[in-house]
Amino acid sequence: MKFQVGDKVVPINKTVIGYGSLDRSNNWRKAKEKGQGFLFVSKFDEEVNAYVCSYKKNDEYGDYFNEIDLKNYKDKPTKNQRITALESVVKDLEQKIIDIRNDYRYDLKQVETRIKMLEFKLEEQTKLIPPTIQSVEEIIEFEGNRYRKVDREAKDGDVVVFKKTAKPEWVTVGKPYKACGFSFNGKLEFKDDLGEDCLVYDGFQTKHAIDDVDVYELIEQDGPPYAPIGFETVEKSTNQQRAEIIEKAKKFVEVKSECVKDSPYVEGGIARKKIENPNFYNYTTVEVEFIINQEKRTVVSLVKFNDGSIMTKGVAKCNPSDVFNEHIGKAIALGRALGLDVSEFENAVQPNEIVVGMVIKGNESENRFYRKSRKFTLTSETDHGGFYYKEASEYSGEPSNDYILSFQFGDILNDTNAQYEEVK
């Protein structure tokens, strides 16, 4: 046999008749969700004449593959190993430049030409070596997130630290505060130590000038912000990227909903309404309401005045080819109501692997049980690559214990309650 039990293999196809295609392989899906680019050979099933492969090592079960469906997995060199190789190349290039300068066999023009070529190559190779670790002092942690110090004025969502203040009873020097929302005249605010709205830059009371405020922006990257040389980032699967954008949408809605409360001014479209209506600032908002229609795949965001009337609204309608998600829809609708850029959520990556909590449809013709017009809400996994679902039996109307198998999966319709696996 070509492969032995415990070998790491990469599936490139799935041709065992009756066991589904590769894109329906439950184990390959789980491996990719973990950022694992291979499966383990569990055993060779002589009865089926195929390899059984699992995403877990020493697993008795798995998916079936023919020998031609698999290829050997080669462990990638670590980042440390790649950096060491690059440093060696750079060192060799530097030595070649020195040797050429001291070699009298070449005339001056030849020396200059060869040195320029080598210096260009040296520069290109040096760029591949990770930059110096950022100073830890320039990175702070606030509310579970990391922020990097930047040389600019503060924006909504930044963290600000005041180096001095004229109102120490309001503001603590050296303490981080979250910049959130705007005053009636469009100036950036934060919550002071008394829980009141206070201007970040104020020449009257606190006397905070631009030079008196250190600004930190949110770090958004795969690895730690001050990752040492040798840190290996995990390549995220499509589903993991989807999970991240969903969490980001939840945070966006939470922060922007809080910012808009009791304030007639927030960044974007609402600020422009004062120009249209001079009395606009006499009202305050007290509520952000969402109307969700999962059947029509729409989300409406209503930003209301304190008298219950609607100040502004935004609508998000899911593209027929996209997967509906309530949280992403809320972020898009609220962002549109506030006049904010929500392109990140509008262009969210779509899930490509089926997990518990999703609503999917079947892939069979209309006269079959798992037809395309039926919806299945997946509740738990089976032991053989399928999912139990909660919909009642078509025949009795009673709750069923039926399941749908991988080769019967149709399109993903809704992933609002999907249980995505986090990056390890």
**What pLDDT is stored for residue 312 in this prediction?**
85
**What pLDDT is stored for residue 414 in this prediction?**
95
**What pLDDT is stored for residue 54 in this prediction?**
93
Query: Where would I find the H helices in 190-296?
Result: 238-260, 269-276
The strand pairing partners of 159, in sequence order, are: 178, 216
Q: Where are the domains of the chain?
A: 8-72, 79-127, 136-218, 238-345, 359-414
240 half-sphere exposure, CB direction, 13 A CA radius: 17
Contact between 25 and 63 (Cβ < 8 Å) = yes
Contacts of 390 (CB under 8 A, 6+ apart): 377, 379, 399
Torsions phi, psi of 264, nearest 5? -80, 0
Q: What is the DSSP letter of 150?
A: E
Backbone φ/ψ region at 144: left (φ over 0), alpha (ψ -120 to 50), beta: left
* Rounded Cα distance, 312 and 310, in Å: 6
* Rounded Cα distance, 109 and 385, in Å: 69
Separation in Å, CA 88 to CA 122, 125, 277, 318:
11, 10, 67, 52
Per residue of the chain (424 residues), what is the pLDDT tens digit? 789 999 999 999 898 887 888 888 889 988 887 778 899 999 999 988 999 999 998 888 899 999 999 998 876 565 556 666 777 777 777 777 777 666 655 555 566 666 666 666 666 666 555 554 444 457 888 887 889 888 888 988 899 999 988 888 899 999 999 998 877 677 888 888 888 888 998 877 778 888 889 999 988 654 444 444 344 445 688 899 999 999 999 999 988 887 666 554 444 344 444 444 544 444 555 688 999 999 999 999 998 877 778 888 999 999 998 999 999 999 999 999 888 888 899 999 999 899 999 999 998 888 888 898 889 999 999 887 789 998 876 655 666 678 888 888 999 999 999 999 865 5
Q: Parallel, antiparallel, or unpaired: how do β-strands 375-381 and 386-389 relate?
A: antiparallel
**What pLDDT is stored for residue 340 in this prediction?**
83
* Rounded Cα distance, 423 and 292, in Å: 30
Contact between 150 and 139 (Cβ < 8 Å) = no
Contacts of 43 (CB under 8 A, 6+ apart): 5, 51, 52, 60
Query: Where would I find the H helices in 102-146?
Result: 108-127
What are 409's two structure tokens?
Answer: 């999966």
**What pLDDT is stored for residue 82 in this prediction?**
65
Q: To the nearest 10°, report the CA torsion of 41, 42, 47, 48.
A: -50
**What pLDDT is stored for residue 132 in this prediction?**
41
**What pLDDT is stored for residue 348 in this prediction?**
92
* Rounded Cα distance, 178 and 157, in Å: 7
* Rounded Cα distance, 26 and 52, in Å: 12
Strand, coil or helix: what is 341?
A: coil
What are 85's two structure tokens?
Answer: 């190789």
**What pLDDT is stored for residue 89 in this prediction?**
74
* Rounded Cα distance, 393 and 401, in Å: 9
Contact between 200 and 188 (Cβ < 8 Å) = yes
**What pLDDT is stored for residue 125 in this prediction?**
61
What are 322's two structure tokens?
Answer: 């996209």
Q: Which secondary-structure segment (H or E) carries 208?
A: none
**What pLDDT is stored for residue 75 in this prediction?**
64
